[in-house]
Chains A and B, each alone.
Chain A
Amino acid sequence: MEKYEGTDFYIIDDLLTEEQRLIRDTVRDFVDDHVVDVIDDCFMEDKFPTELIPMLGELGLLGANLDGYECAGLDNTAYGLIMQELERGDSGLRSFVSVQGGLVMYPIHRYGTEEQKQKFLPELAAGRMIGCFGLTEPDHGSNPSGMITHAVEDGDSYVLNGNKMWITNGCVADVAVVWAKLDGRIRGFLVEKGTEGFSTTKQGKKFSLRASITSELHFQDCRIPKENLMPGADGLGGPLSCLTQARYGIAWGATGAAMACFDAAKKYSLSRIQFDKPIASFQLVQQKLAEMFTEITKAQLLNLRLSQLKEDGKMTAQHVSMAKRNNVHWALEIARSARDLLGANGVTHEYPVGRHMLNLESVKTYEGTHDIHALILGHEITGIAAYK
């Protein structure tokens, strides 16, 4: 296949620094060299490309916007561009990096003790340790505050009981950030692999995000030392602040998946001949391409402004909700439209479009569903919370 070119109609490159462009290009090259050729087989075989993890660490992609503890300390625009380029490869790959950085390293960095930071962050940054984030439960998805998993104090330990579901990286994680209620308050605990009473099962039968491992976590009288509580997080705000970080990355990432689909659809339309002409010469096809092009450009501008707000400390969770909701919605529409333009080829794994389309169904649901983000915006506009 021809080399991926990216989309930059509004010359947003001019608004990036030299370093940001270099970082974007480096990750783009990495995806071209090491992801594109293997990722579809991973998807088919329902496995994550674990051989890439040391490289992700080496390059500095894990927890890239955190400071210190061997993290790269990049600005938020550069971080967003990384997510965009990774998800151009596959949403599962971006999910791995989002979970590791936004949902595991971020809470340890923000809420953990100095000992916890020293112990885990350099290992997680290098990819020598893998982390997972356990919030969702079988009966509590959109409404995590109703969670059943709980901890009780017992001497110098806490004893955890409950189940978590749909947990990315669960089975392979060396450390799980687990949210559970202690005296009725949501607190964050670090549970290490091999702890007695902690077990995992792989969730199968997914048709989406197959190049990412999804698991259930089970805690049965799981005893962890008291120093594994992250002292800084108390209440639902703890996990929600992590989700804001990860959703920020998703807004950028979904744009990358959309760019991959547009790139494939554009090239296909120009080379596919029907009725003696490239299908790109038909009005209906051009309209589809125009729609994709416009929505990608809008998403890119939304992302860039969001990153500026984040840098300036003005970004709210509601700002992120708008970008996550909008960009994932349009990425999915663009993937479907691209699938259509590829005709029968669009339903095969010869092209990346169908895989992106299937992946984006998960991206639409996780980290706050499309509708939940509408309700968050509704709350912002009206002052009335409709989800309660």
Chain B
Amino acid sequence: MKIAVCIKRVPDTATRLNFAGDGTSLDQSEVQWIISPYDEFAIEEGLRLKEKVGDATVTVITCGPAASTKEIRQALGMGADDAVHITSEVDLDPAQIAHCLSSVLKDRGDDIVLFGRQSADAQGSQMGALVASQLGRPFANNIAKLDVEGSEVKIERDVDGGRETLESSLPIVLGADKSLNEPRYPKLKDIMKAKKKPIESVEIDPGNVAFETKAITPPPPRPEGRVVGEGPEAVEELIRLLREEAKVI
């Protein structure tokens, strides 16, 4: 079985981000980069599938700058077999990235292509769907459980207030949700071994830009809080305000 996992390098959401002077990008000098957290669930699921099936390979694929090798090595350290690195030093828009990924994927013949359900930075929730449509394969996002028997695929998804069970067959494209599994840490020994695993570097013409970032701005400062009272007596008023003013309950 051939399994491909597409991963994205994103700024660590837990650290502070600063905007660059041009107003359309981030100041990258102090950014810590990580694998987009949802993609880690996708890697983990690929590895578990491989461990279950036995005769399988897991390939990680990313589209990003040369420095993304650190994130690739992490995925290889977790247990992926090899990697394809589509190098691009400039930021590409989603359509361009989908084009690059599909160009690599279309000739590979993977049985399963895994994505995270969305990236932690842009949160577009579209890459899996874009690639699936370009490959002409079925796509399910937000998967919470995956069973593969032969070429039969059984998927469970969390939907509003319940679970949905779907059936399909290979080949397929899937987007991992966080309830799918708990990603492993790479073992330190395997991080060292990952140095020897092959990373194929490819350059692909991404085509024309479909979207251009014109501006990014910080969120407006939060309005000052308000104390509505103290102790149990305040609860009623608090509920009224949450319902009528804030309209959150």
**Nearest CB in chain A to that of B71: its residue:** A22
Interface residue? A45 (CB, 8 A):
no
Q: Are the CB atoms of B189 and A29 closer together than 8 Å? A: no
Interface bin, chain A: 20 to 34
A64–B189 alpha-carbon span in the complex (Å) = 9
Interface residue? A312 (CB, 8 A):
no
- Which of chain B's residues have a CB closer than 8 A to the CB of A18? 69-70, 73
Q: Are the CB atoms of A26 and B195 closer together than 8 Å? A: no
Interface residue? B192 (CB, 8 A):
yes
- 3 closest A-B pairs by beta carbon, nearest first, are A3-B14, A60-B188, A72-B189
Q: Are the CB atoms of A60 and B187 closer together than 8 Å? A: yes
Interface residue? A73 (CB, 8 A):
yes
Cβ of A54 to closest chain B Cβ, rounded Å:
13
Can you pick out 25 interface pairs between chain A and chain B where the beta carbons lie within 8 Å of each other? Answer: A3-B15, A18-B69, A18-B73, A19-B73, A19-B194, A22-B70, A22-B73, A22-B74, A22-B186, A22-B191, A23-B188, A23-B191, A26-B77, A26-B188, A58-B187, A59-B185, A59-B187, A59-B188, A61-B188, A72-B187, A72-B188, A72-B189, A73-B189, A73-B192, A74-B188
Q: Are the CB atoms of A60 and B14 closer together than 8 Å? A: no
Q: Are the CB atoms of A26 and B15 closer together than 8 Å? A: no
* 10 more A-B residue pairs beyond the given contacts A73-B192, A78-B188, with a C-beta to C-beta distance below 8 A: A5-B32, A19-B194, A19-B195, A22-B70, A26-B77, A30-B185, A58-B187, A59-B185, A72-B187, A72-B188
Contact with A along B178-216 (1 / 0, CB 8 A): 000000011111011011000000000000000000000
Contact with A along B39-70 (1 / 0, CB 8 A): 00000000000000000000000000000011
Q: Give the contacts of A72-91 with B (CB-CB under 8 A).
A: 72-74, 78, 82
Interface residue? A185 (CB, 8 A):
no
**Number of A-B contacts defined by CB within 8 Å:** 50
Say yes or no: A5-B70 contact (C-beta < 8 A), given A22-B186, A23-B188, A26-B191: no
Q: Give the contacts of B79-103 with A (CB-CB under 8 A).
A: none
**Nearest CB in chain B to that of A74: its residue:** B188
Contact with A along B130-162 (1 / 0, CB 8 A): 000000000000000000000000000000000
- Which of chain A's residues have a CB closer than 8 A to the CB of B185? 26, 29-30, 59
What does DSSP make chain A's interface, helix, strand, loop or mixed?
helix
Cβ of A84 to closest chain B Cβ, rounded Å:
14
What does DSSP make chain B's interface, helix, strand, loop or mixed?
helix
A344–B25 alpha-carbon span in the complex (Å) = 41
Cβ of A257 to closest chain B Cβ, rounded Å:
21
Q: Are the CB atoms of B15 and A5 closer together than 8 Å? A: yes
A9–B188 alpha-carbon span in the complex (Å) = 26
**Nearest CB in chain A to that of B12: its residue:** A3
Say yes or no: A19-B191 contact (C-beta < 8 A), given A26-B185, A26-B186: yes
A44–B198 alpha-carbon span in the complex (Å) = 48
Cβ of A33 to closest chain B Cβ, rounded Å:
9
Give chain B's interface residues, CB within 8 Å of chain A: 14-15, 32, 69-70, 73-74, 77, 185-189, 191-192, 194-195
Interface residue? A21 (CB, 8 A):
yes
A58–B184 alpha-carbon span in the complex (Å) = 11
Cβ of B68 to closest chain A Cβ, rounded Å:
11
- Which of chain B's residues have a CB closer than 8 A to the CB of A25? 74
Give chain A's interface residues, CB within 8 Å of chain B: 2-3, 5, 18-19, 21-23, 25-26, 29-30, 58-61, 64, 72-74, 78, 82
- Which of chain B's residues have a CB closer than 8 A to the CB of A23? 188, 191
A74–B32 alpha-carbon span in the complex (Å) = 24
A19–B73 alpha-carbon span in the complex (Å) = 8
A23–B14 alpha-carbon span in the complex (Å) = 19
Cβ of A249 to closest chain B Cβ, rounded Å:
15
- Which of chain B's residues have a CB closer than 8 A to the CB of A58? 187
Cβ of B112 to closest chain A Cβ, rounded Å:
26
A2–B70 alpha-carbon span in the complex (Å) = 25
**Nearest CB in chain B to that of A13: its residue:** B32
A18–B33 alpha-carbon span in the complex (Å) = 12
- Which of chain B's residues have a CB closer than 8 A to the CB of A29? 185
A336–B195 alpha-carbon span in the complex (Å) = 42
A207–B24 alpha-carbon span in the complex (Å) = 53
**Nearest CB in chain A to that of B70: its residue:** A18
**Nearest CB in chain B to that of A6: its residue:** B32
A5–B11 alpha-carbon span in the complex (Å) = 13
- Which of chain B's residues have a CB closer than 8 A to the CB of A74? 188, 192
**Nearest CB in chain A to that of B194: its residue:** A19
- Which of chain A's residues have a CB closer than 8 A to the CB of B74? 22, 25-26
Q: Which of B15, B70, B187, B195 contacts A21 (CB 8 A)?
A: B70
- Which of chain B's residues have a CB closer than 8 A to the CB of A19? 73, 191-192, 194-195
A18–B73 alpha-carbon span in the complex (Å) = 8
A5, A18, A30, A73 pick with most chain B CB within 10 angstroms: A18
Cβ of A306 to closest chain B Cβ, rounded Å:
20
- Which of chain B's residues have a CB closer than 8 A to the CB of A59? 185, 187-188
- Which of chain A's residues have a CB closer than 8 A to the CB of B194? 19
A64–B188 alpha-carbon span in the complex (Å) = 8
- Which of chain B's residues have a CB closer than 8 A to the CB of A82? 188
B15, B32, B192 pick with most chain A CB within 10 angstroms: B192
- Which of chain A's residues have a CB closer than 8 A to the CB of B186? 22, 26
Q: Are the CB atoms of B195 and A60 closer together than 8 Å? A: no
Cβ of A330 to closest chain B Cβ, rounded Å:
24
**Nearest CB in chain A to that of B187: its residue:** A60
Q: Which of B69, B73, B189 contacts A60 (CB 8 A)?
A: B189
A19–B69 alpha-carbon span in the complex (Å) = 10
